[in-house]
Amino acid sequence: MAVKVLVLGGGSGGLVAANKVKALLGREVEVTLVDRSEYHYFLPGLPWVAFGMREVDDIRRPLANVEKRGIQYVKAEVQAIEPDANRVVTDQGTFAYDYLVVSLGAEPQPQPTADAVAPWSPDGAMALRERMKAFPGGRVVIGVSSPYYPCPPAPYEVAGMAEFALKVKGVRDRSSVDVFHMNPAPLAGMGPVISERVMRILEEKGIGFHGGFEFAEAANGEIRAKDGRTLAYDLLILVPPFAPNRVVRSSPLAGESGFPPVDRRTFRHVKYPNVFVIGDTVNPSLMLPPAGVVAHFQAEYIAGVITSDLKGAYIGQPFDPVAMCIMDFGDNALLPQCSFEKVLEGTGMPSCGVMAVGRWVRVTKMLFESYWFATLIG
């Protein structure tokens, strides 16, 4: 009988894991992918939706497309994970498994202020587009409300795109653009080389940066930091806070912090060896960034680990704790790359460098989007 592999979440990690397990093991496995959404979203495309380069339909594909690849797709809300019984309860029934892959992402929390928008969801991207359409120019402020949010570089990309959009609209001369973050410098966790390069791009575009600015509240067109500093705005783009995924947090998989404890090399749960947890659901607890590229490489790797379990041995791709992100600033772009090898070993900081810079780099992000859809869900 085929081994049952159940994948929770059809985002970056889950979609790659389901594809890779099926590709490696074929008829030996029955792969089922569960997601409450009808669609897989290419989330790096959300800022493009906000600034008119894409429509929502352009950056998503029906998850049912995976059935052409021999993967069963079930549209269902996961309600409970019961690893002691090897089953998962959903609003469409209970699913038994031999292997479970959990890639349910991070859980967005409500916006702390009603007048903020953020392209961190399709609705948020469309809301920002509407605000930009009606915006006569003025003070644009972009920032984050908590340290945990998908894609650490994205707020800087959004600031760059907003600045470029104001130029295109012809209102740049009567506008200002400012970014705030709780970190002392942009992408401080990636070290000085990346920080300085991002800072230079912001300066070239006349974008102000406010470091060490911990969001406290926003009201009447003014944001206040915990240290009392204020920033006035006419348009506020605020990344909402995120929390560890609710279903995982309330399951026996959760550790004390709410994040599930996993082996740092194999992403196997320390108590349930047939359960793997990858992506934004677990990465902040491993000091890895909540980024699609990390979820992608983890998914490929754990597919190899499951294959090794079933075949006795399989040496596929070694796990490469590398993250590269094409940062699209609208009229410029940057490709930083970081290795998180020392972070995973617990011996040091990520080692990072700049692989490319220039407006042509934007094209590589668009090419990657096409490659992603074609290879995973076309």
Q: How far is CA 12 from the centre of its chain?
A: 8
Among 6, 18, 25, 35, binds ligand FAD (CB under 6 A): 35
* Closer of 290 and 304 to ligand FAD (Cβ): 290
DSSP string, 260-310: PPB-TTT-BBSS-TTEEE-GGGTGGGGT----HHHHHHHHHHHHHHHHHHH
Interacting residues of 244 by C-beta distance below 8 A, sequence separation 6+: 106, 107, 254, 257, 258, 259, 281, 284
Nearest one of 74, 117, 82 to 100, comparing CA atoms: 82
* Closer of 17 and 141 to ligand FAD (Cβ): 17
Q: How far is the CB of 103 from ligand FAD (least distance, A)?
A: 4
Residues 222-251 that bind ligand FAD (CB under 6 A): 247
* Closer of 226 and 246 to ligand FAD (Cβ): 246
Query: How far apart (Å, rounded) are the C-alpha atoms in residues 200 and 190?
Result: 15
- Helix, coil or strand: residue 196: helix
Q: Tell me if 37 contacts ligand FAD by CB under 6 A.
A: yes
* Closer of 15 and 185 to ligand FAD (Cβ): 15
| Interface mask toward ligand FAD for 289-328; x: CB under 6 A | -xxxx-x-----------------------------x---
Residues 109-168 that bind ligand FAD (CB under 6 A): 119-120, 150-151, 154
Q: Tell me if 284 contacts ligand FAD by CB under 6 A.
A: no
Q: Tell me if 47 contacts ligand FAD by CB under 6 A.
A: yes
Q: Tell me if 253 contacts ligand FAD by CB under 6 A.
A: no
Exposure string over 7-32, b if 16+ CB within 10 A, otherwise e: bbbbbbbbbbbbbbbbebbeeebbbb
CA distances from 157 to 65, 141, 198, 330 (A): 31, 13, 10, 8
Please give the residue whose beta carbon sits closest to ligand FAD in the complex: 11
* Closer of 225 and 352 to ligand FAD (Cβ): 352
* Closer of 11 and 143 to ligand FAD (Cβ): 11
The site that binds ligand FAD (CB under 6 A) totals a number of residues, namely: 33
Interacting residues of 262 by C-beta distance below 8 A, sequence separation 6+: 268, 269, 270, 276, 277, 282, 286
Q: Tell me if 83 contacts ligand FAD by CB under 6 A.
A: no
List of residues contacting ligand FAD (CB under 6 A): 9-14, 35-37, 43-44, 46-47, 77-78, 103-105, 119-120, 150-151, 154, 247, 279-281, 290-293, 295, 325
